[in-house]
Amino acid sequence: MGRRYSHLSSDERILIEKLHCERHPGVRKIAERIGRDKSTVSRELRRGLWFASNENGSYRPYRPKRLKTGPWTSGPFYSALAAQRKADLRRRGSRKPRRMDSDRLRAWVLDALRRGWSPELIEGRLKAQYAGDPSMRISHECLYQWIHAKPQRAPDLRQYLARGRKRRTRKKGRKAKGPRIPMRV
């Protein structure tokens, strides 16, 4: 069985900040101390860099003396709070919205599947019927993936397909596993 991975917690980020800023040990020493891989710590140190500049809104032209003094002005440094904020933003913004989360589209597709329509036909009818509404569009491949993704849900949607198979098959059929005539020249 492989390793289990998890995201860094805010406590681990604070510990990385303390170790990195106060004692300046290497990445390997920090990784040993918090019990993580060295590549995780290295990536976190690169991602969580905080610049005292105009990029992140910390630059204040009306108080320039405040930024010119202190240890943070010598270059970028690691800030656990900034790193946690960036990680939260990445986590929130990373997920693509799923097409079938729309109740209206899901109800229309389920009704069409119960009528015996194929996903290709559903895709074409949606384009024709809802030409100006981009939220009512879905490709046949997305429909097939949605149907086969969760067969354990209450209404098993595979039964509505023309061939209600449990697994998807290739469209062009199987490839030959070996030569048809053994020992041929």
pLDDT digits (tens, 9 = 90+) for 30-55: 999 888 999 999 988 888 776 655 44
- Residue 185 resides in a domain: no
Range of the domain at 108: 99-160
Whether residues 38 and 83 share a domain: the answer is yes
Domain end position, chosen among 89, 119, 136: 89
Asked if residue 84 and residue 32 are part of one domain, the reply reads yes
Domains contained in the chain, number: 2
Q: Taking the complete model, does pTM exceed 0.75, yes or no?
A: no
Answer yes or no: is 118 within a domain. Answer: yes
> 28 pLDDT band (50/70/90 cuts)?
very high
* Helix, strand, coil % over all residues of the chain, rounded to 5: 55, 0, 45
Residue 69 domain-assigned? yes
The answer to whether position 151 is within a domain reads yes
Q: Which of residues 133 and 159 earns the better pLDDT score?
A: 133
Residue 116 covered by a domain? yes
Q: How many residues make up the chain in this entry? A: 185
Using 50, 70 and 90 to split pLDDT, how confident is the model at 174?
low
Q: What is the mean pLDDT of residues 51-68?
A: 51
